[in-house]
Structure 1
Amino acid sequence: MSRQLLLMALAPLLGLFILGIGNGFLATLITLRLDAAGESPVVIGWVSSAYFIGLALGAMLNDRLLLAIGHIRAYGSFASLVAVTVLLQGLLFDPTAWFVLRLIGGWATVGVFLVIESWLLTAGDATVRGRLLALYMIALYAAGVLGQLLLGVTDAMGPTAPFMMIGLLASLSVLPMAMIPRVTPLIEKAEPLSPLRLITLTPTGVVGSFGSGLAVAAVYTLLPLYLQRIGFGVDRVGQLMAVMVLGAMLLQYPVGRWSDRHDRQMVLIGLGGFCALISAGILFLPLPSWGLAALLFLLGGGVFSLYPVAVSHSADRAPAGALVRMSQGLLLINAIGSTLSPPMISPVMTVVGDTGLFWSLGALGVTLVGFFAWRRHVRPAPVPVAPFSPSTPITAAGAELAVTEAWVQGALEHEHVEDLSDAVPDVEVAEPLVGPPPPDEPHIVYYDEEEDAAGASDDGDATEAVSRAEAYRT
């Protein structure tokens, strides 16, 4: 990676890191403040879900503003709005007001991520895009770890100090982006596939993305509530949340390599079972503090790895020309799961108790294992064409730009065969390829079990011709 490219990427990465420090502990802070005020888990769940509702809305709408005013001005607008909503939360303590402010804050936050993703992913070509994405994730997760560690420090400074600190960081994050005199890239708008169409094309990807949204939102918003109610102070809660995020950062690459070398459906089955097993360990084992931290580290790695593996699996089976729209649709499915998670799981915590969080995560893991195993039986794994690339479920437009070279190459290899003599060099391309087979050759019928309901009729003739050519050669 060239020095010039690193300098170009420095500003958005630095802006993301600064804003991410505050954003990393805001969800934890809100959960702890509402619980300390005596609000029920149901109220806490709904206020938490407002942020994810804003994420989903922003993923669908914010690209229009970005295209209209450009990257730098869009970033400044979104970051300023994040600062305003957080500062207002410090001034107004009311669950209804916080619900509205969190919704607006989620909409603005996903706009910030949209600007940074599109800037980074168009800064270089396909040969360096994966490394830029890795730097993006490292900055995001490192900021989250540091933010959780700062939770106890800022909380000890006064009731409004944490909100002031987050607003301050959001405002400061504008400076790196605003001080760079460069022409910023443009992105193209692309509409996502409908949920019904996605379910038809990739049921495993849809369920995996939805389940990942449920699990990630639960650990971000309800795990702090569980930790505080079992006796940990604010400072210790922040440390344990930092350990969980650190596990998400460090374990995603090993899981990605595993999924590149094995059947991704088996990897998804393993991740679902792993999350269920860790949840059972937290429920039933008498854990010391360090033991709980170790299990939370592993839980973070398992939960946060579900989404990128599910997306990579979907790309393996995507029809030609649908990769971008499929990625966008899966991001929206993930956002829907994140929106529904707190209102679904918080009532379980009210009925069962604080351990209802891990009962829910365990049940989710078992459900995912059963579904993935059934899908693997129905549709065995094809040869992978899309290598795993770590990705954060944040924006739809960012996914449009994160399509890797291997995705495109894999799609092209299956889409068009312009010269059959090149595709099958041992076969003479002649009229018999499109006629009936010779009398002395057995009649072989080829069909594609993986062909989905969407159909791929555009390349059907070429694929059939290649199949017949291979049969003649045999």
Structure 2
Amino acid sequence: MSRQLLAMALAPLLGLFILGIGNGFLATLITLRLDAAGESATLIGVVSSAYFIGLALGAMVNDRLLLRIGHIRAYGSFASLVAVTVLLQGLFFDPWAWFVLRLIGGWATVGVYLVIESWLLTAGDQKVRGRLLALYMIALYAAGVLGQLLLGTLDAMGATAPFMVVGLLASLSVLPMAMIPRVSPLLEHAEPLPPHRLITMTPTGVIGSLGSGMVVAAAYSLLPLYLQRIGMSVSQVGQMMAVVILGAMLLQYPIGRWSDRHDRQMVLIGISAFCIVISAAMLTLPLSFGMLAVLLFLLGGGVFALYPVAVSHAADRAPAGALVRMSQGLLLINSIGATISPLLISPVMTAVGDAGLFWSFGALSLFFLLFFGWRRSVRPAPMPVAPFTATMPMSAAGAELVVTEELVQGALEHEHLEDLSNVVPEVEVAEPVVGPPAEDETHITYYDDAEGVDIRRH
């Protein structure tokens, strides 16, 4: 990557990293504070869902605001709103007020991601999007791990100290974007494919994206509740959540490379079975601190890999012209899953106890296993059209980052071969030719057999 491109991407990535440190532990902190105040798991799930509702709403409407006021002013506005909502949560405690503040905070947070992702999107062409996305994910995951590890230290400084730090970081993240000497990039209004089109195009991609949103949201919002209720301190909960995010960061790429070499539907089946095993182990094995850390590391790798593999599978079927809108639509489906997850799983934890979280994980994973297995029997997956790309954008505009030049070219070649497979060429008898053919003359014959279309050049 050139120095010029790195310089163009440095400001948004630095802003993302600074904001991500506070955002990384905020969900954990809110869950722990509500539980310490004696609130039920159901109410905690309702408050947690507010953030994801805000994310979903912001993903659909924030790009219109960005088009009106520009990137830098939009970033400053969204980041300031994040800071205000968090500081207000630190000033007073009321679960329903927190619900409203978390909803507004989620709407503002996805606005920040929209600015960062659309800036990166226009920083380079399709040839370098894969590298830009890799830097984006490193910044996001590293900030998440660091934030979780800081949670215990900040909580020991006082009841309001963690909220103050999150507000300070959100405000500080404005500086790199405000100081960058560059004209704001252009942005077009995103128009994701509607759900009914997505279901027709890729049922596996839709269910994988929806299910991923459900399990990842539960991991962020309800797993800290489980850890605190089994006797862990705030610092230990932060450490365990850091292990989950670390597992997501380190295992996503190996699982993705596995999906490049095998049927992605079989990989999704394998991930689902793997999550069932981990959930069963959490319910049945004696859990020492070390054993729990290992299981949560593996769980993070499994649940966070579900979405990018599902998106890659969907891309294997999508026409080249629909790749961007498809990825945007799947992102919104993922947001819907994240929104409903705490509302569905927290009552289970209230009814059957804290272990209800892993009963829910196991039941969801079993459903995924059966669905992906059924789809595999109905319509086997195609060969990958391009190598796996890890996927973590938060906004519909940023979803275009995963549509690299390699993916577009692979989709175009796939469409071309499918078109040829529907053609039954006539057999022609060549006329005798006197003298050698011209140097630029090419004779192409198509042979349609059981193995597919064989293109031979003479």
Where do residues 279-290 of structure 1 align in structure 2 (5 Å cutoff)?
279-290=279-290
Tell me whether 1:133 sits opposite 2:127 in the alignment.
no
What SS does the aligned partner of 1:122 have? helix
Q: Does the 8 Å contact 1:334/1:393 carry over to 2? A: no
* Aligned-pair CA distance for 1:190: 2.9
What corresponds to 2:377 in structure 1? 377
Partners of 2:228 and 2:411 in 1: how far apart? 49
TM-score, normalization by structure 1:
0.88
Aligned to 1:40: 40
How far 1:268 sits from its partner (Å)? Answer: 0.5
Residue matched to 2:298: 298
Q: Residues of 2 paired with 1:129 and 1:204: CA distance?
A: 25
Separation (CA, whole Å) in 2 of partners of 1:127 and 1:252? 22
Contact kept in structure 1, 2:389 and 2:402, CA below 8 Å: no
Distance in 2 between residues matched to 1:87 and 1:74, nearest whole Å = 20
Provide the secondary structure at the position in 2 that maps to 1:349. Answer: helix
Partners of 1:393 and 1:466 in 2: CA distance: 43
CA distance in 2, matches of 1:96, 1:28: 18
Q: How does 1:20-419 map to 2 (within 5 A)?
A: 20-415=20-415
Shift of 1:87: 0.5
Contact 2:121–2:400 (8 Å) recurs in 1? no
Contact kept? 1:209, 1:310, Cα under 8 Å = yes
Once residues 304 and 285 of structure 1 are traced to their aligned partners in structure 2, the CA distance between those partners, rounded to angstroms, is 23
Give, in angstroms, the shift of residue 40 of structure 1: 0.6
Which residue number in structure 2 is paired with residue 451 of structure 1? none
**RMSD, aligned CA:** 2.3
CA contact (8 A) 2:81 2:105 kept: yes
Partner residue, 2:432: none
Code of the residue aligned with 1:215 in structure 2: it is V
The residue that corresponds to 1:442 in the other structure is: none
Q: Given the superposition, is the C-alpha separation of residues 182 and 472 from structure 1 closer, same or farther in structure 2, using an over 3 Å criterion?
A: closer
* CA pair 350-409 structure 1, distance change in 2 beyond 3 A: same
Q: Deviation per CA, 1:289-333, whole angstroms, max 9, x where unpaired?
A: 011001101110111000000000000011342111111110010
Bigger shift: 379-388 or 368-377? 379-388
* Cα deviation 1:199-228 (Å, max 9, x = unaligned): 111000000001100100001000000000
Provide closer, same or farther for how the CA distance between residues 352 and 415 of structure 1 changes in structure 2, counting only shifts above 3 A: same
- Matched residues in 2 for 1:368 and 1:163: separation? 37
Local SS of the residue matching 2:57: helix
Q: CA deviation at 1:415?
A: 4.3
For residues 4-44 of structure 1, the C-alpha deviation after alignment (integer angstroms, 9 at most, x for no partner) is 11111111111100000000000000000111111111100
1:57-109 CA distance string (max 9 Å, x none): 11111111112222111111111110000001111211111111100100110
Structure 1 counterpart SS, 2:354:
coil
Residue 460 of structure 1 corresponds to which residue in structure 2? none
Which residue of structure 1 aligns with residue 434 of structure 2?
none
- Alpha carbons 1:320, 1:414 under 8 Å: kept: no
Find the aligned partners of 2:113 and 2:137 in 1 and give their Cα distance.
11
1:268–1:309 CA contact under 8 A, matched in 2: yes
Deviations 1:96-125 (A, max 9, x none): 111111001001101111111111122122
Quote the Cα distance in structure 2 between the aligned partners of 1:130 and 1:466.
36
Distance (whole Å) between structure 1 residues aligned to residue 121 and residue 44 of structure 2: 36
Q: 1:189 to 1:373 in 2, by over 3 A?
A: same
- How far, CA to CA, are the matches of 1:138 and 1:401 in structure 2? 15
Is the 2:316–2:411 contact (alpha carbons within 8 Å) kept by the matching residues of 1? no
1:58 partner amino acid? G
Q: How many residues align?
A: 437
How far 1:411 moved relative to its partner? 2.6
Q: Which residue identity is paired with 1:339?
A: T
State the partner residue of 1:456.
none
> Residue type matched to 1:94 in 2?
D
Unaligned runs of 5+ in 1: 439-464
Q: CA deviation at 1:393?
A: 4.8
User: Any conservation in 2 of the 1:278–1:299 contact (CA below 8 Å)?
Assistant: yes
8 Å Cα contact 2:192-2:326 kept in structure 1 = yes
Q: CA deviation at 1:256?
A: 1.2
Structure 2 residue matching 1:322: 3-state secondary structure: helix
In 2: Cα distance, 1:5 partner to 1:404 partner? 16
CA distance in 1, matches of 2:386, 2:211: 21
Give me the whole-angstrom Cα distance separating, in 2, the residues matched to 1:35 and 1:165: 21
Question: 1:311 is matched by which residue type in structure 2?
Answer: V
TM-superposed CA distance for 1:410, in Å, is 2.1
Secondary structure of residue in 1 paired with 2:123:
coil
User: By how many angstroms is 1:416 displaced?
Assistant: 5.8
